[in-house]
Amino acid sequence: MASGVLADFARMPTQRKVMVFVVIGVLIGLVYWKFAYKSLDEGLDVAQTEHDNKVAANRRLAQDIPKYEELRTHMTRLRELIEKNQTALPTGPELPAFFETLQHKVAESGVEIRKWTNRTEEPVETGSPLPPDVTPPRPYDAPPEREPIVIPAAPTGPETTVVPPSPVDGATPLLTMPREWQHHNGEDYDDLFDRMRAGFALDEVQEPAIDIQLNWFEHNPDYLERVFQRAQRYLYHVVTEVEARGMPLEFALLPVVESAYEPFAYSGSRAAGLWQFIPGTGRRFGLKQNWWFDGRRDVIESTRAALDYLQALHDQFDGDWLLAIAAYNVGENSVRRELDYNRAHGKPADFWHLKLPSETRAYVPKLLAMKRLMAEPERYGLEFAVIPNEPYFAVIDTNSQIDLKIAAQLAGASYDELVALNPGYNRWATDPEGPQRMLVPIDNADAFDTALKTLGPDDRVRYASHEVTRKETLAMIAKQYGTSVAVITKINDLKGGKVTAGATLKIPEISGQLPDKVLLAAARVDRPETDVGGRRQRQIVYRVRGGETLSTIARRHGMPVSTLARLNNMGAQDTLVKGQRLVIKASARRFRDEGVVSGHRLLYTVRSGDTVYSISRQFQVSVTKLKSWNGLNEHHQIRAGQRLVMYVDPSRQQG
């Protein structure tokens, strides 16, 4: 039969054969697609089921989140109730009675304690605690939440009066409430950096300028290490002050941009301190500046003034923090002028579209880059060492002037540490007219406070008495006691820097050399940088030779002898001592006399990792001069512990 069918097929015309093949192909295709569609339909059913399950889970999650927030609200009310009744948590056998009292108070407060499951909410049975292993669900992209507080449930039986247990003599002392129940600002963080991250509030911005600054920070971890090593003394105080005002905690990073957290930093525009106030703005915000003290460098005062200034700028620019930050750098008038220009020409009135100086255009991105780096250091291959979230220093009232070295001895702290915490003082002692306080490491505060009470005011700053003899000058007296004419003049309130024979002078007993940073700060006060017309003048220091007088030196440098004497707090007839140094306001011409050395002499001890280039950059001197002063050439390598001499311009130092 098969052969007959094949024979008939062979005799068919070609057109009919083609039609037969087409029909057969269609039939085969229909059978194939029937099975394929069935498999596809089953797959779609599975996918739809999974989708429906996810939608249901998300819906339950959305329902659970408000419930969890409600529970947190109830716990806050419960905490307030406990604090109001001054309840503390006992230990040992007193716990059951305590919890019975607590349950009764919860019932009185109307707080309903419920337990959590993944799907439903149901009241907790009487006397049963919340399951310790149940945690409220949260979205997958949400940051980790703290573990929920587990407490016993409120009773549902008849109301009874429960008397809390009375303290027993000799019993274990009561413990204060657990840390989880004490939510006060940032106190529930162990790492100060975590506390800062939680308070970051500036909007995230995607701008190439930020990426440029971020790239620099990312590739200079040594710089960041040095900055935050200095910052650990001051950061807790700054964070606390910013947080107390409700300001974005990014502002705790602003001194990184301003001064690298160096309180002795000093710019060419005469800005000083952590927050880099220029003299005029500092006075505008109440920062005291005199011979003894410069509030621009004081940690407490400068932080207060900086935050006052930033808040005022924020209010002035209608709540725009970026404009406030820019104005902090360049001045509010400049920012206002550019804003008005953009608005008048139909341009966007935000920081990113203002035509500001290049320094300011980089200033705001630096802060935002530092914020981004601090928020996710691991993303950039960095790790910040933990800074404990606790005060570094305590503020102790001294009630009178005190020598910083005596204070260091009383506190049992190093002199350098005390200077670093109290950088506002220009001299060896605090300002006799205040502020009369001392910042002391927290671990030394009690010892300092106790020792200070045993020391009378006369023992806190020590002076010697000197009776002026005939032909004796202030310069000679200063050299004899290892001090300066400026100090003797100030302490004794000498008008015109003149002294007469027979007069008795108070000479401060200054033990040892002051740190270089303090000397530089004092030099900026003692040697004004501008003339009466406000023009910047170059200063040089001249070393006196044997037989020279003020008259001959003044004539050589083309200036009146009275001017030279006044610049050095001397009388015109005072005798000079060989080797003595005089300050001279030089003209533009170059002095080639080998006795002229420009700037303030400074000794620097080389640290591990220092290079001639890095030191020259730090102190704003040329590599050539640094090598010349120390007899170095390309074959000489500096080493840690080596001391280098420099002659630096105080007005150019960055700290």
- Catalytically active residues, by annotation: 258
CA 287, 387, 182 angle in degrees (round to 5)?
Answer: 90
Which pairs count as long-range contacts for 322-325, CB under 8 Å and 24+ apart, including other chains?
Answer: 322/202, 322/350, 322/351, 322/364, 323/350, 323/351, 325/254, 325/363, 325/364, 325/367
C-beta neighbour count of 146 within 10 angstroms? 9
Whether the Cβ atoms of residue 420 and residue 263 lie closer than 8 Å to each other: yes
CA distances from 398 to 439, 449, 452, 508 (A): 10, 8, 7, 19
HSE toward the beta carbon, residue 321, CA cutoff 13 A: 18
**What is the crossing angle of helices 208-218 and 221-231, to 10°?**
80
Alpha helices in 351-470 (DSSP H): 358-375, 404-411, 415-421, 445-453, 457-460
**What is the 3 state secondary structure string of 270-311?**
CCECCCCECHHHHHHCCCCECCCEECCCCHHHHHHHHHHHHH
Q: Which residues contact 187 (CB under 8 A, 6 or more apart)?
A: 389
**Measured distance CA(277)–CA(285) in Å, rounded:** 10
Amino acid type, 119: R
* Maximum CA extent, the chain: 153
